[in-house]
């Protein structure tokens, strides 16, 4: 096991009844709030009104930035920074899913940087200070409510890139599973796939002695496999929504990769798809992951992939390790397709072979020449994985 530091201090208030504590939590850090949200679903479900009511009752000053995109764009961060500076705001309350929280993190950091926010994303500027952030989560997926990072899209340059800073970890997050009742089938499935992908990106490593971490990862995968279909079939099943929501935070808050070297190969490939096609992130991850595993399957990885199937999908082991590993990959593909109703080919989500080569090259370039991880992936490898994902 490698040396590591664990230092995650987000306070999580989980359950049905914590909105009343919102003013108290905000006032620990600030009194002039930027409220950020997305396309308005928080208004449909009545959450917006409830938040405004408690803020008004506590006489907390606020401004709003709505309309943040599903793959959040750097323009929105520019707008957010402007509102913060013009109104001397000192706290950000992000209400939404990962996109809203990710974008809020960029605003929080960019407020104190004298340059365009995009410079932070492309690492030309560094976050040394940030506005404190609180979140009210409405989608179980990205884990942004309890980690330091975010992913931002720049449509002009067709780039979708991650950034992160310990300063942008939320101070608190309110997780009410009921707020996810109205999430539709497609986004529920994409969220579950996203959580599983985070977990698998942390899980698929070799010979690092991180046994506990791998068992914890399997616990999260089993939870997704158990409750994903239940949430699809019964969107108001509280325990299903609650387990998926709590799993989303722990899949990516850093626990699963303590003591490990991880490299997030599938995310690196998927970000190009989303940048070119505005594809829902989790859907892209679900499509690519089985093809990725098939591509890296060889003598060095067969035990790892086989154990995954045995421990997570209860594959009964045979004498042929490769047969077992292929069964494991098949079980994952089938779970996404049959149980989560995810379209499992690029063709079904409207992606043809036009840009595959360009995306493969960019994925490799963004990763510094090759994507690292269990297996190094060159642009040729990536292209092959894309091609295998087409139909």
CB of 50 to a copy of itself, least distance (A): 17
Nearer of residues 41 and 176 to a copy of itself, judged by Cβ: 176
Residue from the set 87, 182, 258, 378 that interacts with a copy of itself by CB under 8 A:
258
Backbone angles phi, psi at 254, to 5 degrees: 115, -20
CA atoms of 113 and 309, how far apart (whole Å): 47
Residue from the set 43, 56, 124, 211 that interacts with a copy of itself by CB under 8 A:
211
Give every CB contact of residue 386 below 8 A, 6+ residues apart in sequence: 269, 346, 356, 359, 360
Interacting residues with a copy of itself between 136 and 175 (CB under 8 A): none
Which contiguous run of DSSP H or E holds residue 174?
Answer: strand 172-175
Tell me if 20 sits within 8 A of 54, measured CB to CB.
Answer: yes
Residue 12 tokens, joined: 């999580």
Residue from the set 37, 91, 203, 227 that interacts with a copy of itself by CB under 8 A:
227
Q: Could you say whether residue 259 binds a copy of itself (CB under 8 A)?
A: yes
CB of 284 to a copy of itself, least distance (A): 25
Q: Could you say whether residue 68 binds a copy of itself (CB under 8 A)?
A: no
Which contiguous run of DSSP H or E holds residue 159?
Answer: strand 159-164
Tell me if 187 sits within 8 A of 239, measured CB to CB.
Answer: no
Residue from the set 28, 85, 215, 303 that interacts with a copy of itself by CB under 8 A:
215
Alpha helices (runs of H) in 178-320, residue ranges in sequence order: 185-203, 211-233, 238-250, 265-277, 281-296, 302-313
Nearer of residues 9 and 380 to a copy of itself, judged by Cβ: 9
Alpha helices (runs of H) in 96-210, residue ranges in sequence order: 98-110, 118-121, 185-203
Judged by CB under 8 A, which stretch of 38-46, 117-125, 209-217, 355-363 contacts a copy of itself? 209-217
Residue from the set 82, 206, 238, 318 that interacts with a copy of itself by CB under 8 A:
238
Q: Could you say whether residue 348 binds a copy of itself (CB under 8 A)?
A: no
CB of 194 to a copy of itself, least distance (A): 16
Residue from the set 246, 276, 277, 322 that interacts with a copy of itself by CB under 8 A:
246
Residue from the set 16, 20, 43, 56 that interacts with a copy of itself by CB under 8 A:
16
CA atoms of 327 and 297, how far apart (whole Å): 12
Tell me if 26 sits within 8 A of 91, measured CB to CB.
Answer: yes
Q: Could you say whether residue 17 binds a copy of itself (CB under 8 A)?
A: yes
CA atoms of 31 and 83, how far apart (whole Å): 15
Which contiguous run of DSSP H or E holds residue 33?
Answer: strand 32-36
Tell me if 262 sits within 8 A of 201, measured CB to CB.
Answer: yes
Q: Could you say whether residue 7 binds a copy of itself (CB under 8 A)?
A: yes
Residue from the set 165, 188, 202, 223 that interacts with a copy of itself by CB under 8 A:
223
CB of 266 to a copy of itself, least distance (A): 23
Residues making contact with a copy of itself (CB under 8 A): 1-9, 11-18, 177, 209-212, 215-216, 218-220, 222-223, 226-227, 238-239, 242-243, 246-247, 250, 255, 258-259
């Amino acid at each position: 096991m490698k040396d590591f530091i664990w230092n995650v201090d987000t306070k999580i208030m989980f359950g049905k009844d914590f909105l009343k504590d919102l003013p108290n939590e905000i006032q620990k850090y600030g009194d002039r709030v930027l409220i950020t949200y997305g396309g308005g679903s928080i208004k449909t479900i009545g959450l917006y009104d409830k938040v405004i009511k408690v803020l008004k009752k506590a006489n907390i000053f606020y401004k709003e930035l709505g309309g943040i995109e599903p793959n959040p764009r750097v323009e929105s961060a520019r707008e957010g920074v402007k509102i913060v500076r013009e109104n001397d705001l000192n706290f950000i309350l992000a209400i939404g899913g990962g996109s809203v929280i990710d974008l809020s993190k960029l605003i929080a950091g960019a407020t104190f940087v004298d340059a365009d926010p995009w410079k932070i994303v492309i690492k030309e500027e560094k976050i040394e200070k940030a506005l404190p952030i609180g979140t009210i989560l409405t989608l179980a997926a990205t884990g942004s409510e309890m980690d330091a990072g975010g992913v931002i899209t720049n449509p002009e340059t067709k780039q979708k890139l991650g950034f992160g800073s310990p300063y942008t970890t939320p101070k608190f997050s309110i997780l009410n599973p009921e707020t996810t009742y109205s999430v539709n089938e497609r986004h529920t499935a994409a969220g579950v796939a996203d959580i599983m992908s985070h977990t698998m990106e942390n899980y698929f490593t070799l010979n690092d002695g991180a046994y506990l971490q791998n068992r914890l990862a399997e616990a999260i995968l089993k939870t997704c496999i158990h409750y994903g279909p239940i949430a699809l079939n019964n969107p108001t099943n509280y325990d299903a929504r609650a387990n998926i929501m709590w799993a989303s935070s722990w899949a990516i808050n850093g626990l699963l990769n303590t003591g490990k070297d991880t490299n997030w190969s599938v995310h690196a490939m998927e970000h190009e798809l989303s940048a070119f096609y505005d594809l829902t992130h989790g859907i892209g991850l679900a499509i690519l992951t089985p093809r990725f595993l098939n591509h890296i399957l060889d003598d060095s990885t067969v035990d790892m992939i086989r154990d995954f199937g045995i421990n997570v999908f209860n594959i009964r082991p045979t004498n042929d390790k490769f047969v077992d590993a292929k069964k494991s990959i098949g079980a994952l593909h089938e779970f996404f397709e049959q149980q989560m109703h995810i379209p499992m080919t690029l063709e079904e989500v409207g992606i043809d072979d036009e840009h595959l080569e360009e995306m493969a090259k960019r994925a490799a370039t963004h990763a510094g020449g090759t994507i690292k991880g269990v297996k190094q992936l060159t642009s040729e490898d990536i292209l092959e994985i894309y091609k295998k994902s087409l139909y």
